[in-house]
């Protein structure tokens, strides 16, 4: 072998022996209370230490940290909705009761009405769901920049679980009655676009108005979807998946697939049934967010974030992330 060929072979062997860089950055070493949210180049994490008060922090993918103050002491961060413009949260306050807040990304947070049932975000607009008397409900749309307020009233028993994306919002009516239906509205006009009768499944909404569901069966789950042009639910994939951990992007849905006792892997599912694993086997995922560019997830006692890899996902550093026993 010539000296040049030997050098090339040596370089190739060294490259092959170099461990693959992790696809995801550990942005926080805490166990999220319930939710995480992708907000541009940062992740919003709410966490409560044992016997302590809750914190809400904007964790930049560059390692930066920005604490966000709650208007009143909090003992659990129940829900977070955020994007690169704005954020909203629901909390359990110290001493009892709930707190509902919204504001620009990074704060300051301002109180929302106490009648709020659920929250969602789209652009600069916080979408809140409210229950009114006589089997009626209302969506309130608050622009966090201009502070303008618009209301959309609707008729429907037991409204619950609002989500929003692009120009659309969706919410459940007849919640937990066996007759649960998801209604999709156009936020620009306030008009209903379509509705889907569901088997009581958790769901998400894409910017184009597509609905995604994870429907748990006895031994597995069905990943299902519906659109205005095809409002009847159809199954695109089957797998053992956690029914409450899904995150919808413009093109696909991220789902936490069971990977053995106490472990998960995250997969992306497209409307044509394509399934692609984008994490290796990690401690059970109990918080998940995805905006089509950045995937964020809580695994054990850590939060990771980064762009999903195109190839085989590399293992992130899991030292210190295993769930406490």
Quick: pLDDT tens for 29-87.
999 999 999 999 999 999 999 889 999 999 999 999 999 999 999 999 999 999 999 99
Report, as an integer, the average pLDDT of 260-272.
95
Whether residue 14 has pLDDT greater than 80: no
- For the chain, the average pLDDT equals 90
Cα-trace Rg, the chain: 21
Three-state DSSP class for residue 316: coil
Q: What pLDDT shows up at residue 39?
A: 96
Question: pLDDT tens digits for 133-156?
Answer: 766 899 999 999 899 999 999 988
Give the other-Cβ count within 10 Å of 40's Cβ.
Answer: 16
Q: What pLDDT shows up at residue 323?
A: 65
Look up residue 189 and give its two tokens: 């006009």
Torsion of CA 68, 74, 79, 80, to 10 degrees: 0
Q: What pLDDT shows up at residue 10?
A: 35
**Chain-centre distance for alpha carbon 70:** 21
Give the largest CA-CA distance in the chain.
Answer: 87
Task: Identify whether the C-beta of residue 304 lies closer than 8 Å to the C-beta of residue 27.
Answer: yes
Whether residue 273 has pLDDT greater than 50: yes
Whether residue 23 has pLDDT greater than 70: yes
Task: Identify whether the C-beta of residue 306 lies closer than 8 Å to the C-beta of residue 266.
Answer: no
């Amino acid at each position: 072998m010539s000296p040049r060929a030997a050098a090339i072979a040596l370089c190739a062997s060294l490259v092959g022996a170099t461990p693959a860089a992790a696809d995801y950055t550990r942005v926080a070493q805490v166990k999220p209370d319930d939710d995480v949210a992708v907000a541009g180049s940062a992740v919003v994490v709410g966490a409560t230490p044992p016997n302590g008060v809750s914190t809400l922090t904007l964790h930049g993918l560059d390692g930066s940290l920005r604490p966000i103050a709650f208007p009143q002491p909090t003992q659990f961060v129940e829900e977070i909705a955020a994007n690169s413009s704005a954020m909203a949260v629901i909390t359990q306050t110290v001493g009892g009761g709930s707190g509902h807040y919204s504001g620009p990304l990074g704060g300051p947070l301002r109180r929302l009405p106490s009648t709020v049932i659920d929250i969602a975000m789209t652009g600069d607009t916080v979408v809140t769901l409210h229950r009114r008397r006589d089997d009626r409900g209302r969506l309130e749309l608050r622009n966090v920049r201009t502070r303008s307020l618009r209301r959309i009233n609707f008729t429907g028993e037991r409204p619950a679980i609002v989500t929003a994306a692009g120009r659309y919002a969706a919410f459940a009516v007849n919640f937990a009655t066996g007759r649960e239906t998801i209604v999709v509205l156009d936020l620009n006009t306030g008009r209903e676009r379509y509705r889907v009768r569901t088997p009581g499944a958790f769901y998400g909404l894409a910017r184009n108005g597509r609905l995604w569901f994870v429907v748990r069966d006895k031994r597995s789950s069905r990943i299902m979807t519906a659109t205005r042009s095809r409002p009847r639910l159809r199954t695109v994939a089957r797998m053992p998946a956690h029914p409450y951990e899904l995150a919808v992007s413009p093109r696909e849905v991220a789902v936490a697939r069971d990977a053995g006792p106490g472990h998960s892997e995250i997969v992306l599912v497209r409307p044509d049934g394509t399934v692609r694993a984008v994490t290796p086997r990690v401690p059970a995922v109990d918080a998940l967010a995805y905006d089509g560019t950045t995937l964020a997830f809580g695994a054990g006692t850590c939060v990771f974030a980064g762009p999903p890899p195109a190839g085989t996902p590399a293992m992130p550093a899991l030292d210190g992330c295993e769930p406490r026993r």
